[in-house]
Amino acid sequence: VAQDLQAGPAVAVTPFADRLAEAVERKHSQLVVGLDPVVEQLPEELRDEALLGRPHAASAFTRFCCGIVDAVAPHAVAVKPQSAFFEALGADGVRAFEDVCAYGRAAGLVVIADAKRGDIGSTARAYAAAFVQPRGDAPPLADALTVNPYLGRDSLEPFLAACRTGGAGLFCLVKTSNPGGADVQDVTLADGRPLWHHVAALVRELGEEVVGDCGLSAVGAVVGATFPREVQQARQLLPQAVLLLPGVGAQGGTPSNLEGAFASGPASALVSASRSVIYAYRTDGGDWRAAAGAEAERLARDVWAVSGR
Amino acid sequence: VAQDLQAGPAVAVTPFADRLAEAVERKHSQLVVGLDPVVEQLPEELRDEALLGRPHAASAFTRFCCGIVDAVAPHAVAVKPQSAFFEALGADGVRAFEDVCAYGRAAGLVVIADAKRGDIGSTARAYAAAFVQPRGDAPPLADALTVNPYLGRDSLEPFLAACRTGGAGLFCLVKTSNPGGADVQDVTLADGRPLWHHVAALVRELGEEVVGDCGLSAVGAVVGATFPREVQQARQLLPQAVLLLPGVGAQGGTPSNLEGAFASGPASALVSASRSVIYAYRTDGGDWRAAAGAEAERLARDVWAVSGR
């Protein structure tokens, strides 16, 4: 009974993948806009305020990210606030993170908290509570969370429980967008596979019990858009997973390389861009909101076109 | 120049391992007390308050953890606040985490922030700023941070920079204390080694440039005390690393199994216990502070005896 109480009442919730698939079809978009606020890159009027100290910087982050949310909401299906940039401002920053997540949800966007958490079971339960479980009477902070697989199955189980009972989504790191990911993820196993194939198999197995009506699972996989060949392989290894593909834009990935990622349907891959969208005003000029909106619109259109091929 | 400014002035700082080694010798202790506050397990007077809502719970966490710090400070060399339990209370909890870290440092304890962060380089820089870099005029939140190696070398570089320039310490996950860790960490590589041996080699290499006068590196390794054989192997693979050994007590590890871990000197291994110390009053009865202090004293003595064998 205590277990049941913790997990919340057994009301019917829409599985994460079904909510996502509906939103993708409705908006004709698989674009995820990453929210990576950095003081030095903020528009001038916000940067000046941010330099006054942490609480001011946190307030500037909130206003910047909410402005971006407004600008990209018509074009993106999701936003992905990156916890690290908010945590760099301490508790004030975490408050801003909470506000930005709530604002994104209120704007009708799927909110993916990019926090890459992973810990042993008793601790992972606390992380699940922090990010993807209802907070008292309040809804969960985010719709989905990025997680790290290094600690294995039992470390992912508490998050999986939130998928089962609360309609949460997970995106497990599989093959990351950075060059250094190869140091661990590409190590060759005794059976000839790279390690990340083994992790993909683990993700596939975990995801099998939380597949929605749309045929996609609540357990997705992070695969760097910077590695198009690996994206294709991941699609084959994980036919029911939503692939979250970061690294488009500033990191060098392009939508045209990602065609095969959508083989399991329009919602089976999400393309994530951060700096190239939110700081578009720095290269394109003009109002920062308008520049971000225009870049999001362009990118979403490109991705949608690629996904329909 | 911008890089130098970010890294702080080039004042001579004592390397992490040397600070740790001095403290271990002075206190005759290698005990790390993990601070894992959970509302349901708090002493009654604090639990009643904690149930009134998040800000109250955060305040109760602060008072509980500071009470534990006072009780164990004579016996432990370090405390290890687990970020997840504080994050579960949102921004209020993160404020409590900050307060507890500051209180631990003021009590003369080494503070190891247990947050297991890991992300691509630009994001990892933000995590380094959050946990182990000076915050404006204020000192770093913690002396050391636990990190996750799944994203490879470039994801650990920003933390390493804080070791170089600010005297920070790192503890990289290598072989974790939970059963599920085997799912990824024990996978057999083409050369016959388990994956965690490969990660240990990466940790060794990263640590070579930040070795203190005491012969130990600022880059340590997390190895579960629940796996005594692997602890011995880790000692051989990582002769200069401080091994952080969690899992004693509630998870089943015992000091007597860890003898060989201290082969590189008294400060070359830290034994971490959390629930068995901080909630000792639940089994031993009496005042919760006194029970925690007594259990910490007993455990520290046992570990010190083992380390000198």
Chain segment B232-278, per-residue pLDDT in tens:
999 999 999 999 999 988 888 889 889 899 999 999 999 999 999 99
Q: Using the beta-carbon criterion (under 8 Å), do A91 and B82 form an inter-chain contact? A: no
Nearest alpha-carbon partner for B289 in B299, B297, B280: B280
Which chain A residues are within 8 Å of B185, Cβ to Cβ? 150, 152
Q: What pLDDT is stored for residue B11 in this prediction? A: 56
- CA distance to partner chain B, nearest, from residue A181 (Å): 4
For an interface test with B, which of A178, A185, A205 has the most B Cβ atoms less than 10 Å from its Cβ? Answer: A178
Residues 96-125 of B with CB under 8 A from A: 97-98, 116-124
Segment holding A156, helix H or strand E: helix A153-166
- Residue A283 CB coordination number (10 Å): 9
Please tell me the predicted confidence (pLDDT) of residue B2: 39
The closest CB to that of B188, out of A38, A92, A189, belongs to A189
Among A92, A129, A150, beta carbon nearest to B150: A150
Dist. CA A132–CA A15, nearest whole Å: 13
Give the distance from residue B259's alpha carbon to the nearest chain A alpha carbon, in angstroms: 25
B182 touches chain A (CB under 8 A): yes
Distance CA B182, CA B243 (A): 19
3-state secondary structure of A166: helix
* pLDDT tens per residue, range B157-197: 999 999 999 999 999 999 999 999 999 999 999 999 999 99
Residue A5 has pLDDT above 80, yes or no: no
Strands A269-273 and A243-248 turn out to be parallel
Contact A91, A97 (CB under 8 A): no
- Note whether A188 contacts B: Cβ–Cβ < 8 A: yes
Q: Which of B3, B41, B123 is the best residue to mutate to test the A interface, defined by the most A CB atoms within 10 Å of its own CB?
A: B123
Confidence category of residue A45, pLDDT binned at 50, 70, 90: very high
A92-138 tens-digit pLDDT: 999 999 999 999 999 999 999 999 999 999 999 999 999 999 988 89
Chain B: nearest CA to A215, how far in angstroms?
26
**Is pLDDT at B129 greater than 50 in this prediction?**
yes
In the predicted model, is pLDDT for residue A186 greater than 80? Answer: yes
Q: Nearest-CA distance from A25 to chain B in Å?
A: 31
What value does the mean pLDDT of chain A take?
95
How do residues B42-81 score in pLDDT, each as one tens digit? 999 999 999 999 999 999 999 999 999 999 999 999 999 9
Q: How confident is the model at residue B5 (pLDDT cuts 50, 70, 90)?
A: very low
What is the residue-wise DSSP string for B56-114? HHHHHHHHHHHHHHHHHTTT-SEEEEBHHHHHTTHHHHHHHHHHHHHHHHHTT-EEEEE
Is residue B70 less than 8 Å (CB to CB) from chain A? no
For residue A236, the model assigns a pLDDT of: 98
Say whether pTM exceeds 0.80. Answer: yes
Per-residue confidence (pLDDT) for residue A136, from 0 to 100: 82
A142/A113 Cα distance (integer angstroms)? 6
Question: For testing the chain A interface, which of B119, B157, B188, B245 should be mutated: the one with the most A CBs within 10 Å?
Answer: B119
Chain B neighbors of A84, CB-CB under 8 A: 117, 119, 123-124, 126-127, 130
pLDDT tens by residue, B68-121:
999 999 999 999 999 999 999 999 999 999 999 999 999 999 999 999 999 999
Question: Catalytic site residue A80?
Answer: no
Main-chain dihedrals φ then ψ at residue B82, nearest 5 degrees: -90, 110
